A and B are shown apart, each in its own frame.
Chain A
Amino acid sequence: MSKIIKDFKNIKYGPAPEDSSEVIEWISKLPSPNFHFINGKWQKPLSKKNLYSINPATNKKLFKLSVGSKSDIDRAVKAAKIAFPLWSNKKPFERSRYLYSLARLIQKHSRFLSVLETIDNGKPIRETRDIDIPLVARHFYYHAGWCEKLENQSNKSIGVIGQIIPWNFPLLMLSWKIAPAIACGNTVVLKPAEFTSLTALFFAELCQKANIPNGVVNIVTGDGSTGEKLVNHKLVNKIAFTGSTAVGKKIISSTSNTNKKLTMELGGKSPFIVYEDADLDSAVEGVVDAIWFNQGQVCCAGSRLLVQESIEKKFIKKLKNRMEKLRVGNPLDKSVDIGAIVAPVQLKKIDKLVKQGVKDGANLWQPSWSCPSEGLFYPPTLFTNVAPASLISQVEIFGPVLTTLTFRTPSESVSLANNTPYGLAASLWTENINLAMDIAPKINSGVVWVNSTNLFDASCGFGGYKESGFGREGGEEGIRAYVKNDLPVRKILNYKIKKSSIKLPRIDRTPKLYIGGKQKRPDGGYSFPVFDINNKNFICDVSRSNRKDVRDCVEMASKIKEKKITNFNRSQILYYIAENLERREKNFVDLIVALRGVPASLARNVFSLSCERIFYYAAMADKFEGQIHNPPMRGLTMALKERIGVIAIILNDHDPLLSLVTCMGAAFSTGNAQIIIPGEKTSLLATELYQVLDTSDVPGGYINILTAKEGELNQTLSKHENVDGIWYFGGLGQERTDIIKNSISNIKRCWCPDDKRIDWTNSKGSFLKEFLHQSTQVKNIWIPYGE
């Protein structure tokens, strides 16, 4: 008689392993090292470099991985380049059929893929089977639908997309990258993470089965060096990267002198906030899903528990009891909650950080049971009594480690939540809808989950604020990342005034800086002269701002973050600006003629178009709205379009008035504070404008104008970490490269169109809306409901 059965009064869990024989057999048949999937075929690596990939559950070698070289990447990119015209010109319905086939094939092989992913990555089969793989299929279904939807829009494909994905959700990240990219008509070269390439290789087999045309999907395995080759390949039009903030910054830097587009989904240190009126038992389960999901190796893991002081003791007690019940072990076992850490190097990193936490005086708590000794396991870990300044509460640990802080009031919870350079996700728990709806917009992160955590769906955008990156994956906002949004350009005409017929005002002008709603003399006490277009007639001297003016200006602009004026308010102000501007037609037309040399009739046209443009953005202030997504759950997801914050706008002398009012209108319409640096030679137009602003009730700090010699402020502005976004219209060149590189320290939202000949007179919706998109970032707030 079985001892287990005999002892039935003392029940316990036994082993419940998922069968892996079929998968093991498939792995054993792989060439050693593996081939790359290029141009629809398996191609022998050109590189000689190899690595061993391990099974984290056993820490034993799994297979020999080929590290793709420059020539491997080159082959793949060229195949993608050749495939692009055909693929992007296919009827959307046709592309849609291919995506549908992939979705179906993934479903048909779902268990195989789950087991393969678990063996390769170490995450529990429960997760791969119930979360990863179903979401992968969902992504292909959803984006199959987008092909059709895109047909009626004027979007164009970008070209060859280089995609670099992490090891924490190998196939899921692949689907987040490939599905929208190929749906929009692009072709891709994807490099899976060096620890986890197997599901990508199997996916390539599915691509063959689905008859995806050769070259549309290419997969080259390798490590960071392979990724670097992909990032730097000349024929790649866009890089989509998910990974660490450090590597993300490197990629931004190394592409800064190109016109490659970027999507960056980077690290996080996401807060998990529990208010005293939450369903505490459910919130405890939330913590489990937040930080012990995928061993805590999740970019949006709720790794910082913020709990209201009044319930701290009770909550921590409940949490510890719950932690005792977690099961760590063989990830193929169906009753395991926490699997293995992906690689020895990651395990070491976690261990080191935890030890540092203990050293720094935080209280460490781990359950009484111990982890299996074989394989790469780490127990769920809770830190209490953690100082906000300590290393463990600031850096991304990327492991099953939770730190705890307490707060007293909702506003303190917001301050603590935002006290991090990251801004990926947040989870907040309260049964009070007023509190939830008040807090969610105040947290600077791309995703907020109300009474839930780690929810994902293809229909909802995912992506970060601040140093967690930019660009979205999923939803309509995710589609934007894979279609062209180039601005219209036209030839710049060089005018000369034939006969200097301008009568300049007799009384000296004293254009000052416009900072915080006040006219200010420049700190340095210097000015520079402005001449007419012929460079002959001196018009007047203009203030020359320096570093300190920038500092003061950013400080004033940052203050608006604490206030909010309604969109109706902003709309009225913009209308009023247009009204007051129109009355000064003569001033502006004379100035445009003098500074640009255009005929008066053309200047009048530009002036009238400028008024029209301000009207447009006045109208859009309350019409450029968010969306409600409907993921498959009882609940909804609000995709809010939120302002960027402080945007520095660096203009050039080309079409000075129209470019100025376009940028200003869009940035103000969406609620940003802005610092406008007009082109040096046309500074006077901007200073003339602040007179209009002064009489139009623009609240101080929203619109600021600094005049300077060309390029003089670029460095200070692009380095200032309180500037959240920077627009530069000077086109490709060293200046642009430097601005992008300087922006990296706080990952500003950089918008630096590569062509400086923008046709500002274009009045198409797609052009004007682009400015609104660039002034906003999308936050998805998930609100499951039900009583």
Chain B
Amino acid sequence: MLKKKSLKLDIDWINNIRVNLSAVERRTSTLTKRRTVKKEYQVAWLLRSISLLDLTTLEGDDTLGKVEKLCAKGLSPISSEILNKLNIPYGTIHVGAICVYHDLVAHAKKILNGKLPIAVVSTGFPAGLSSFNTRKNEIVNSIKDGADEIDIVINRSLVLRNEWNKLYNEIRDFKHIAKGKKLKAILGVGDLGTLRNVAKSSLVAMMAGADFIKTSTGKEKTNANLNNSLVMMRMIREFYENTGKKIGFKPAGGISTAKDVLNYLMLMYEELGKAWIDPELFRIGASRLLIDIERQLYHYALGRYATSDKIAIS
């Protein structure tokens, strides 16, 4: 398990951050055309991406039944027909984790029985504006119920008011309470206004001890995209260069096609390197994505496009 301590808050570092939007856009728009993977390489990349998935359901109508289906899909994300064709032993591929609301953690724990980590969204998800005590208690309760990873939301108003100290203290406190569980700090990038704010809050979160920084809850108007992801990846790299600590990245929200996920993988591969293409450092929060990945694998394995009826839903 990762054991990262919080660092001191370095305000100078934060204030020196510069992000040029047009140049960031140019990088992301050209990168996706500078790199591509075909045929069996694409299959390998897609299989790899499955192991990075935080297979997620975060809806108001989530029930025990829904979570059961989700867990089942997480354990065997690809149909045996495809696996057979690809010659991959059944059971060797599973998602990185499943991600649910607190209420469903205990049930998921019972089903999975340690076969997959359970991530829980916490601390006043999605807005992060509940009382501080409530938010802290959520972490305590979810750990009690069996959560392995805590996806906290930050209070975005602190970013908008540049109250870096308060933001830092808040995340550091959550980190302390999470007692060594993997802590993913959701920045809610769609609420932050500028990419500079995205970069600065990324840095604060990492200084405060977050193990992962995550783009968004999936509930904001703008969720993960290649631009805000690039900015966060670059901050992770800079943090690593300055401190030697490797922090993970989790884009979430709106990543729904195999093409999308390959773009994220390539961006990660180029900006942070192969070492980061690992469930310990890279997760992708998604709910519909797996279906499209499976369709692509189906096409490679069977040489035809699948009807959606043949792809098991979660």
A residues near B, CB below 8 A?
1-2, 4-16, 126, 129-130, 277-283, 285-286, 289, 317, 325, 334-335, 337, 431, 451-452, 633-635, 784-787
Contacts and interface: CB of A to CB of B under 8 A. Distances in A.
A452 B29 CA distance: 14
A13 B44 CA distance: 10
Contact of B36 (A9, A16, A283, A787): A16
A560 B20 CA distance: 36
A391 to B, nearest CB: 32
B129 interface: no
B189 to A, nearest CB: 14
Contacts of A451: 20, 22-23
B27 A285 contact: yes
A282 B27 contact: yes
A730 B20 CA distance: 53
B22 A785 contact: yes
A4 B41 contact: yes
B24 A14 contact: no
Nearest to A17: B38
B72 interface: no
Contacts of A126: 33-34
Interface of B: 18-27, 30, 33-41, 43-45, 47-48, 51, 86-88, 194-196, 234, 238, 241, 265, 269-270, 274, 277
State the majority secondary structure of interface residues on B.
helix
A786 B33 contact: no
Contacts of B36: 16, 334-335
A14 B39 contact: yes
Nearest to B31: A285
A285 B23 contact: yes
A7 B44 contact: yes
Contacts of B35: 13, 334-335
B20 A279 contact: yes
A285 B274 contact: no
Contact of A286 (B23, B45, B47, B51): B23
A342 to B, nearest CB: 21
B40 to A, nearest CB: 4
Contacts of A6: 87-88
14 contacts: A1-B86, A1-B88, A2-B87, A5-B86, A14-B37, A14-B40, A16-B37, A126-B33, A281-B238, A282-B23, A285-B27, A431-B18, A431-B20, A787-B195
Contacts of B33: 126, 129-130
A5 B40 contact: yes
Ranked 3 nearest A-B pairs via Cβ: A1-B87, A14-B41, A282-B23
A12 B86 CA distance: 18
A277 B196 CA distance: 13
A784 B270 contact: no
Contacts of B48: 8-9, 11
B27 A16 contact: no
Given A16-B37, A282-B20, A786-B22, A5 B43 contact: yes
A282 B21 CA distance: 9
A11 B269 contact: yes
A8 B44 contact: yes
A14 B23 contact: no
B209 to A, nearest CB: 24
B270 A16 contact: no
Contacts of B41: 4, 11-14, 16
A786 B19 CA distance: 10
Nearest to B42: A14
A126 B34 CA distance: 6
B233 to A, nearest CB: 9
A4 B40 contact: yes
B44 to A, nearest CB: 4
B197 to A, nearest CB: 10
Contacts of B39: 14
A302 to B, nearest CB: 14
Nearest to A633: B22
A279 B43 contact: no
Given A13-B35, A15-B38, A130-B33, 15 more contacts: A1-B86, A2-B43, A5-B86, A8-B44, A8-B45, A11-B45, A14-B40, A279-B23, A325-B270, A431-B20, A452-B22, A633-B22, A785-B22, A786-B25, A787-B194
A726 B296 CA distance: 67
A218 B34 CA distance: 36
A430 to B, nearest CB: 9
B134 to A, nearest CB: 35
B194 A11 contact: no
Contacts of A431: 18, 20
Contacts of B88: 1, 5-6
